[in-house]
Amino acid sequence: MKSYDSLRSHFLQTSYLNKTIALLDWDHETYLPSKGVTFRADQQAFLSGLSHERLIAPQVGDWIEACEAETDSLDPFQNANVAAWRRDRDRAVKLPTEFVEAFEKECALAKAAWAEARRKSSFELFSSHLTKLVEMSRQKADYYGYEKNPYDALLDVYEPGCSSQDLSPVFAKLKEFIVKLLPDAMETTKRITTDYLHGFYPLEGQKKFNEMVAQAMGFDFEAGRIDATTHPFCTDLGPQDIRLTTRYNELDFTESFYSVLHEVGHGLYEQGFLPEHAGTPMAEAVSLGIHESQSRLWENKIGRDPAFWQDWYDQACECLPALKKFSPEDLTLAVNRVSPSFIRVEADEVTYDLHIILRFEMEKDLLSGELKVDDVPATWNERFRSMFGLEVPDDAHGCLQDIHWSMGGFGYFPTYTLGNLNSAQLFSAAQKDLGKPAAVLQEGQYAEILAWLREKVHCHGRHLEPAELMQAATGQTIQPGHHARYLEHRFEVLKA
């Protein structure tokens, strides 16, 4: 127990440092003046180096080995923490501290360059940063080691045990299913135009409605908040400090609303960890595929269900009077409109995964060297035309729309589709366990579904691997068929 107590204390203190880095990053994305970027990059690089040094310190390895030799004296949660610390440290010791610092500094600079490039729709303003991050990500993959594809070394950071070889056949079948479903889904919602919901939706009304729904879902605003930024995200700054962000469009309230539902899903997961596990892997998500399952469940399984707009229609109209010209049925059909479009975060449920498949394939090619950074815009536009049948009008609607590459987040995108697959399976199991269909689970109150997720997903932290968690929660490992059946059912309901 002495070695475990030493580990617990050491990593609790390291978490103070890591949450400070996260706070600086949150500020970078929300309020940092443009002239402060260079100093902030140096600041984050320095602190990231300190955190890395704490993780790879020799005594940490000694404490872990001592705990591994005395597993019988530890409880299951403590053993789970030790196993997670072992995994994290074994990966970290492969990276020189100077590399970690240089990578973090480049990410901080790249995010600022990306934001400007996106505003001006100019890939040239970002290309040199992307070139450097691709090179450094290849170097990181080499440090980590891999069998066949450098991409796998990076994917494993976000989705433990997953490889591009695992994903490729799943994505191929999913793409085939989408192509088959798409014409019928488009026909069901064909009367809904792209500007169907356009009106005047004041920011204060949007904020009020967003917070009203988020609170009903269970998000604790005494332990979190919502701010505005270029790209929506959720970040954990401490056990009682979960920050969500969104972006607003006064012509279209759905742009902020559905990004808030998505980030609330992430936030509920972060707020669902048991307080006594703060600073340990038991208070961390097991993978991004599981994390994304929470956001996609609340955003889509709850927020786009016909019952949702029946439940919330009066409150929505009170906050946003322009909605009074629509019926709940109109709103339901509109937010489920299916049509190929340019922006991933605004994509419909059917075509969303095509956006992920496109990025997955491009990331693999960038990491392998088959795709050069200078060719990214043209290649993106060509592949997008092939998959979606649309001509990309500019870089902001194309290869610059997502922040992830500027974060060095190669390997992140596939977890969104894994989140879709997991969310459908979890939601199906929840309805079965609770003995209630989706409509009855809602009614404007979400305590039962949240309690189920708390028990089946949130409280486990990193105690279970992703496949083990899905098996324990649903009785099956990941089965993509749930997602297909969910989409087919959704559009059968909308036809009625």
Tell me the two tokens of residue 83.
């196993």
HSE-up of 388 (CA within 13 Å, CB side)?
28
The residues, ordered by sequence, that sit 6+ positions from 314 with a Cβ below 8 Å of its Cβ are: none
Tell me the two tokens of residue 356.
């992920």
Q: Assess contact for 258 and 264: CB atoms under 8 A.
A: no
Of 413, 408, 410, residue with least CA distance to 108: 408
Beta bridge partners of 224: 242
* Amino acid type, 135: E
263 classed as catalytic: yes
* Amino acid type, 291: H
> Which of 263, 284, 361, 363 is the catalytic position?
263
* Amino acid type, 279: G
Distances in Å between the Cα of 51 and the Cα atoms of 46, 233, 410, 417, 424 are 9, 23, 21, 31, 37
Helix/strand/coil (H/E/C) assignment for every residue in the chain: CHHHHHHHHHHHHHHHHHHHHHHHHHHHHHCCCHHHHHHHHHHHHHHHHHHHHHHHCHHHHHHHHHHHCCHHHCCHHHHHHHHHHHHHHHHHCCCCHHHHHHHHHHHHHHHHHHHHHHHHCCCHHHHHHHHHHHHHHHHHHHHHCCCCCHHHHHHHHHCCCCCHHHHHHHHHHHHHHHHHHHHHHHHHCCCCCCCCCCCCCCHHHHHHHHHHHHHHHCCCCCCEEEEECCCCCEEECCCCCEEEEECCCCCCCHHHHHHHHHHHHHHHHHHCCCHHHCCCHHHCCCCHHHHHHHHHHHHHHHCCCHHHHHHHHHHHHHHCHHHHHCCHHHHHHHHCCCCCCCCHHHCCCCCHHHHHHHHHHHHHHHHHCCCCHHHHHHHHHHHHHHHHCCCCCCHHHCCCCCCHHHHCCCCCCHHHHHHHHHHHHHHHHHHHHHCCCHHHHHCCCCHHHHHHHHHHCHHHCCCCCHHHHHHHHHCCCCCCHHHHHHHHHHHHHHHC
Active centre residues (catalytic): 263
